[in-house]
Amino acid sequence: MEQAELQRSKRKPTESLDAYDYYLRGLSAVHEWSQAGNIEAISWFKQAIERDPNFAAAYGFAARCYSQRKAGGWMIDPAHDTADAERLSRRAAELGWGDALALCTAGVALAFVVGDLDSAMTLTDRAVALNPNLDLAWHFSGWVKLWSGHSEEAIERFEHAIRLSPNVPHKFTMQDAMAAALFVTGRYDEAFTSSKAALREKPDFILALCIAAASAALCGRPAEAKEIIARLLKLEPSSRISNVHEKYPELRRPEHFAKLAEGLRSAGLPE
C-alpha cells in the first residue's frame, strides 16, 4: 500500500494550485490555434514552471507551443525558438519519464522543431505504452512515425487518436494529420475527405487547405481544387509554390513535399 501511494503521488501533476491554474489557462490558450493564443499559452506554461520547477507536463506543453508556432508560420526568431523548445523538451523528459502527457508533447517538439527523430520516437512510443487511452500520445506519435517514413503506421495511430476522443477541441488537427498521412500514401480521395472534415471544424486552417487543394487536384476534382486555392490565397496572399514548405512544414520528407508541390501546382497555386 505504501508503494502504491508513492506511485500515485508521483502521478499528481503538481502540488501548487497556482501552477495548476496557470497550466489550465495555458491549455485553453493553446487550443485556440492562433498566434495570439500561442504567445499567451507559452507565457502561462512558463508561469506554471516558475511556481513549480518540477511540473513536467508544463515543460512539455511549453515545448509543444513551439511546434504549434512552427506549424502556424509564427516563428520570428527560429534559432531562439528551437533552442528553447529543446531545453523545455529535454527537461520534460527528465522530470516526466512516467508522465505520458509530458513525454508526448516533448516528443513532438523534439521531432518537429529540433529535428531529433530518434529521441522523439523513444518519448512518444513510451507515452503510448504508459497511457494507451491518451489521444495526444497517439496523435503525436503518429506524426513522428510519418516523419520517420512509417506512413501506414502513422495512419493507424491517427485513426486510434480520433477514435479515443472524437469530440476534443483539437480534433481538426487530428483530421489534418490523418489527411497528411493519407496524402503521402497516394490515397488522395480519402485525404481530401479528411482535410475537408478538418476545414468544417476550422475553415481558416492553412494546413488543411493545402492538403485539401493538392488532394482535390490529384484525385480529379479540378474545380474544387481551384476554389480551395482561392480561399488559401485570400487568407495568405503571399502563398506560392516557392514558399509552400514554410506554409506546410509538416511534410518534412522530400518525396512527400514534392508530391504536395505537384498537387498545389495542378490546383493553380502560383510559382
**What are the tens digits of pLDDT across the range 48-60?**
999 999 999 999 9
Tell me the average pLDDT across 24-40: 93
Same domain as 131, residue 32: yes
**Structural domain span for residue 165:** 15-169
- Summarize pLDDT for 128-185 with one digit per residue, the tens: 999 999 999 999 999 999 999 999 999 999 999 999 987 787 889 999 999 999 999 9
Is there a domain that residue 117 lies in?
yes
* Pairwise CA distance, residues 85 & 92, whole Å: 10
Same domain as 257, residue 149: no
* Pairwise CA distance, residues 176 & 168, whole Å: 14
Residue type at position 54: N
Same domain as 212, residue 159: no
Q: Among 104, 135, 169, give the residue marking a domain's end.
A: 169
pLDDT of residue 76: 87
CB 38 within 8 A of CB 69: yes
Is there a domain that residue 64 lies in?
yes
Is there a domain that residue 4 lies in?
no
pLDDT at 10 over 50: no
Q: Among 169, 194, 219, give the residue marking a domain's end.
A: 169
Is there a domain that residue 239 lies in?
yes
Same domain as 255, residue 220: yes
Is there a domain that residue 25 lies in?
yes
Q: Considering its fold, how many domains does the chain have in total?
A: 2
Question: pLDDT band at residue 5, thresholds of 50, 70 and 90?
Answer: very low
Question: pLDDT band at residue 7, thresholds of 50, 70 and 90?
Answer: very low
C-alpha cell at 78: 527560429
* Pairwise CA distance, residues 151 & 162, whole Å: 17
Question: pLDDT band at residue 13, thresholds of 50, 70 and 90?
Answer: low
Same domain as 129, residue 102: yes
Q: Among 169, 196, 226, give the residue marking a domain's end.
A: 169
CB 142 within 8 A of CB 177: yes
* Pairwise CA distance, residues 79 & 87, whole Å: 12
Q: Write the CATH number for 152.
A: 1.25.40.10
Same domain as 186, residue 97: no
Question: pLDDT band at residue 3, thresholds of 50, 70 and 90?
Answer: very low
pLDDT of residue 9: 36
- Sign (positive or negative) of CA dihedral 94, 141, 175, 171: negative
Is there a domain that residue 174 lies in?
no
- Summarize pLDDT for 239-270 with one digit per residue, the tens: 999 888 776 777 778 888 899 999 999 999 99
Same domain as 256, residue 186: yes
Q: CA 260 → CA 139, 237, 241, distances in Å?
A: 21, 19, 9
Is there a domain that residue 2 lies in?
no
**CA-based radius of gyration for the chain:** 19
pLDDT at 24 over 80: yes
Angle value at C-alpha 11, between 8 and 14, nearest 5 degrees = 120
pLDDT of residue 35: 94
pLDDT at 72 over 80: yes
Same domain as 193, residue 161: no
pLDDT of residue 12: 56
Same domain as 117, residue 218: no
Q: Is 209 left (phi over 0), alpha (psi -120 to 50) or beta?
A: alpha
Same domain as 240, residue 136: no
Q: Which of 12-16, 32-36, 61-65, 163-167 has the lowest mean pLDDT?
A: 12-16
Q: What are phi and psi of 231, to 5 degrees?
A: -65, -40
Owner of C-alpha cell 509530458? 102
Same domain as 212, residue 163: no
Task: State the chain's mean pLDDT as an integer.
Answer: 91
Same domain as 95, residue 23: yes
pLDDT at 112 over 70: yes
pLDDT of residue 257: 87
* Pairwise CA distance, residues 91 & 94, whole Å: 5
Is there a domain that residue 74 lies in?
yes
